[in-house]
Amino acid sequence: MTVQRRAFLIGMLGPALQFLGVAWDLLEHGLLHTHGLAETTFTHLISAPAHLLAAAGLLVSVIGIPVAIEVARSDEREFEELGEVAAEAAYGTQRAGAAE
């Protein structure tokens, strides 16, 4: 996977979650519960699953977009080195488990 594609996927995770939350909310209020906004309470706004999903998307965006920028600035060699370190750590964990 290229660095640009990896950065794009990381950066779009939060907005995708927000979109799902907003789409769910529009579906719920627009098609399923057409009674209007008269029954909407503060508790509903902070505890409805669609609103929580949109809020989680916002938090993921706050964390994920800076990470995506760092990934975009890096080069392939850094990912190869990271993969080698992860493989060595996994191999070391397997060896330690076998020794016990």
pLDDT in tens, 11-20: 999 999 999 9
pLDDT of amino acid 34: 66
Question: What are residue 34's phi and psi, to 5 degrees?
Answer: -90, 20
DSSP 10-33: HHHHHHHHHHHHHHHHHHIIIII-
Question: Domain map of the chain by residue range?
Answer: 3-75
Confidence of residue 27 (pLDDT cuts 50, 70, 90): confident
pLDDT in tens, 33-79: 766 666 677 787 788 899 999 999 999 999 999 999 988 888 878 77
